[in-house]
């Protein structure tokens, strides 16, 4: 990539932000930093939160640079999952998220609006939604049994969030609005899972804040994508 091409890419990625979005990010990051100093939070947890929130926000904006932060956050969260016995999440991030985010870069490049450099968004058909729901339920049951057998600390939360996250990441790469519904469920359950770990002595407050912010962002971007998709129908 030439110097001018890189400059144009950065300019396109920084365009289209609303003031409230930038202000919201600033407030959230400030809370995470203050929290880290006050409770002496795990540094990996803090870095993971920063990268994860940036990834989710930029993905919601439909900009391909989200995957840069996604790959960084994947490494940090994998370490946290291993350290806290969340083996389903560990396998998910290392074995699925990492390669899927690389695949997402190439997939999104083929569906960028030439003028705005933002991805073209879509929605599933009724049949696709029904098939996906049945698959998720069946695999979730099996995942819970396997994780419980392996001795995971939270087999139900871990199993369900792992399977839903696989579906959510697939829909993210496919640019489908249904991803945000799945992320609402995943993020809400994950926040509860990390809250339970914190109450049991784990210092990962930034990670809990990260999942709460994810939940709020999923609602925000579902509404945003819905308005854009139906405006083009």
* Inter-residue contact 191 to 153 (CB < 8 Å): no
Q: CA 221, 203, 97 angle in degrees (round to 5)?
A: 45
86 pLDDT higher than 80: no
Query: 0.85 cut: is pTM over it?
Result: no
pLDDT, tens digit, 9 for 90 and up, residues 180-223 = 999 999 899 888 888 888 888 777 787 888 889 899 999 999 99
* Inter-residue contact 66 to 72 (CB < 8 Å): no
Q: In the numeric block, which tokens belong to residue 166?
A: 């696989």
pLDDT, tens digit, 9 for 90 and up, residues 26-76 = 998 898 888 888 878 778 888 888 998 899 999 999 999 999 999 999 998
Segment among 9-18, 80-89, 180-189, 222-231 with least mean pLDDT: 9-18
């Amino acid at each position: 990539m030439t110097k001018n091409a890189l400059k144009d890419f950065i300019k396109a990625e920084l365009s289209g932000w609303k003031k409230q979005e930038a202000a919201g990010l600033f407030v959230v990051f400030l809370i995470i930093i203050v929290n880290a100093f006050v409770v002496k939070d795990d540094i990996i947890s803090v870095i993971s939160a920063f990268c994860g929130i940036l990834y989710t926000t930029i993905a919601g904006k439909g900009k391909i640079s989200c995957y840069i932060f996604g790959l960084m956050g994947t490494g940090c969260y994998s370490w946290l999952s291993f350290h806290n016995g969340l083996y389903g999440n560990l396998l998910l991030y290392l074995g699925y998220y990492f390669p899927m985010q690389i695949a997402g870069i190439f997939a999104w490049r083929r569906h960028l609006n030439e003028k705005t450099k933002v991805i073209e968004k879509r929605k599933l058909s009724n049949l696709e939604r029904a098939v996906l729901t049945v698959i998720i339920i069946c695999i979730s049951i099996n995942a819970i049994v396997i994780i419980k057998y392996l001795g995971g600390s939270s087999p139900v939360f871990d199993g369900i969030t792992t399977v839903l996250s696989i579906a959510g990441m697939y829909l993210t790469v496919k640019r489908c609005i249904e991803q945000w519904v799945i992320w609402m469920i995943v993020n809400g359950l994950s926040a509860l899972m990390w809250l339970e770990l914190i109450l049991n002595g784990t210092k990962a407050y930034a990670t809990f804040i990260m999942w709460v912010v994810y939940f709020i962002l999923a609602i925000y971007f579902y509404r945003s994508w819905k308005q854009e998709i139906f405006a083009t129908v």
